[in-house]
Amino acid sequence: QKEVEQDPGPLSVPEGAIVSLNCTYSNSAFQYFMWYRQYSRKGPELLMYTYSSGNKEDGRFTAQVDKSSKYISLFIRDSQPSDSATYLCAMSAKRGSTLGRLYFGRGTQLTVWP
């Protein structure tokens, strides 16, 4: 079993839709959770960062962490064609041999059509 599972999609939605992206994980030591957006042929861009459980909102984006279920989500409201990209979840434990390592999901490819 991979440490981080993420449905690769592809996910295709109309403009204005609410998008839900999810990851599950198996390592209960993970405490730091990140979402990156990666446009085609570009480097990943940090979107959201959360620590431990709870919600965090930034404009149209909301990140949720449920540590009891080992489940994280990213919601995009009022999706735009410019949101079309691959979304990668990443997490870290900051402990011993895992220090400095990010554990990535496979990425979900999202297309928002006008």
Which listed residue (14, 26, 29, 42) binds other proteins by CB under 8 A? 42
Minimum Å distance from CB 85 to other proteins? 13
Convert 2-29 to b/e letters by CB count within 10 Å (16 or more is b). Answer: eebebeeeebebeeebebebbbbbeeee
Torsion of CA 92, 80, 69, 89, to 10 degrees: -20
- Closer to other proteins by CB, 32 or 61: give it: 32
Indicate whether 61 belongs to the interface with other proteins (CB under 8 A).
Answer: no
**Which positions lie near other proteins, rule CB under 8 A?**
8, 32, 34, 36, 41-46, 49, 51, 88, 92, 94, 99-102, 104-107, 109
